[in-house]
């Protein structure tokens, strides 16, 4: 059965692979191929994805430093009944990535916004973690400064369910030390390099994982899952 064409004046939020280039839906590929323009967090990375799937399309940059300015360009396209596909470097736009501001602006201007679902590192990590999944709380990236990080962790003391964070390899040991202080009896799962060649799940107490990384350099982006008992 033929698929319906893209709807004019619609902003499409297209999820893209977080590592493995095969992790992209047929619908996402069709949207990227048929839209009028792609707004990408990193045009170089998006062009690599398009090349891998033999897609030739106009791509403009849209990242956290120009999102406010680029929002108006995108709104102008939508106003002219064009279709815009918004993509981040990896995963789902707007989830700890640029996109939220553009979505709000599009909705406020009366334009249609449609999700083209697919990869998300948070959703990839939770079911494979072995931790409770019936309730979880996503806190994204913690602030860079120690005071802000402590304040955020303290605010989560009464939050139920598995806690979920994103963290870079440059601050993961700091986060583990903070978890050791905040919730020393908790069970922690580190999911790194998801869907890539060196995908790894590390499980243990904060102290055990602090000790693990005292002997090796952290690599890759992390999803950090915390279950407090």
Whole-prediction pTM value? 0.91
Choose the final residue of a domain: 95, 116, 137.
Answer: 116
Domain shared by 216 and 158, yes or no: yes
Position 1 in a domain: no
Which tokens sit at 90?
A: 């990896």
Domain shared by 194 and 174, yes or no: yes
Domain shared by 82 and 61, yes or no: yes
| pLDDT, tens only, 47-84 | 999 999 999 999 998 887 777 778 899 999 999 999 99
Position 21 in a domain: yes
111 contacts: CB under 8 Å, gap ≥ 6: 9, 10, 11, 75, 78, 79
Q: What is the pLDDT of residue 66?
A: 78
Domain shared by 106 and 130, yes or no: no
Task: Name the domain count of the chain.
Answer: 2
Domain shared by 87 and 131, yes or no: no
Average per-residue pLDDT in the chain? 94
Domain shared by 154 and 203, yes or no: yes
Q: Residue 34 pLDDT more than 60?
A: yes
Domain shared by 110 and 141, yes or no: no
Domain shared by 69 and 136, yes or no: no
Between CA 57 and CA 47 the distance in angstroms is 9
Q: Residue 1 pLDDT more than 70?
A: no
Task: Say which CATH number the domain at 30 has.
Answer: 3.40.1010.10
Between CA 1 and CA 172 the distance in angstroms is 48
Q: Residue 36 pLDDT more than 80?
A: yes
Contacts from 132-138 at CB under 8 Å and sequence distance 24+?
Answer: 132/161, 132/162, 132/227, 133/162, 134/161, 135/160, 135/161, 135/162, 136/161, 136/162, 136/163, 136/164, 136/225, 137/161, 137/162, 137/163, 137/164, 138/164
Position 147 in a domain: yes
Residue 147: Cβ within 10 Å count: 8
Position 181 in a domain: yes
Position 180 in a domain: yes
Task: Say which CATH number the domain at 178 has.
Answer: 3.30.950.10
Domain shared by 139 and 192, yes or no: yes
186 contacts: CB under 8 Å, gap ≥ 6: 179, 205, 206, 226, 227, 228, 229
Domain shared by 130 and 92, yes or no: no
Domain shared by 40 and 109, yes or no: yes
For the segment 137-145, the average pLDDT, to the nearest whole number, is 96
Q: Which domain holds residue 176?
A: 121-227
* Helix runs in 15-66, H state only: 26-34, 43-52
Choose the final residue of a domain: 116, 134, 159.
Answer: 116
Position 60 in a domain: yes
b/e 16-41 (16+ beta carbons within 10 angstroms → b): bbbbeeebbeeebbebbeebbbbbbb
Choose the final residue of a domain: 73, 92, 116.
Answer: 116
Position 87 in a domain: yes
For the segment 203-223, the average pLDDT, to the nearest whole number, is 96
* Helix runs in 89-227, H state only: 100-108, 121-129, 146-155, 172-182, 206-213
Domain shared by 135 and 170, yes or no: yes
Position 134 in a domain: yes
């Amino acid at each position: 059965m033929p698929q319906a064409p893209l709807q004019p004046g619609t902003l499409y939020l297209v999820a893209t692979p977080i590592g493995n280039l095969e992790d992209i839906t047929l619908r996402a590929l069709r949207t990227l191929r048929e839209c009028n323009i792609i707004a990408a967090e990193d045009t170089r990375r998006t062009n690599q994805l398009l090349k891998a799937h033999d897609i030739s399309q106009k791509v403009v940059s849209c990242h956290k430093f120009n999102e406010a300015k680029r929002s108006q360009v995108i709104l102008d396209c939508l106003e002219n009944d064009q279709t815009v596909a918004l993509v981040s470097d990896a995963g789902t736009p707007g989830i700890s990535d640029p996109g939220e501001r553009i979505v709000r602006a599009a909705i406020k201007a009366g334009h249609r916004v449609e999700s083209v679902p697919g990869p998300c590192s948070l959703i990839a990590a939770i079911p494979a973690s072995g931790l409770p999944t019936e309730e979880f709380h996503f806190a994204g990236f913690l602030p860079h400064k120690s005071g802000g990080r402590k304040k955020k962790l303290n605010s989560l003391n009464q939050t139920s369910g598995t806690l979920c964070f994103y963290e870079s390899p440059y601050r993961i040991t700091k986060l583990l030390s903070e978890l050791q202080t905040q919730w020393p009896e908790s069970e922690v799962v580190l999911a790194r390099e998801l869907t890539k060649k060196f995908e790894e799940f590390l499980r243990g107490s904060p102290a055990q994982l602090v000790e693990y990384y005292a002997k090796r350099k952290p690599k890759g982006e992390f999803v950090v899952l915390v279950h407090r008992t």
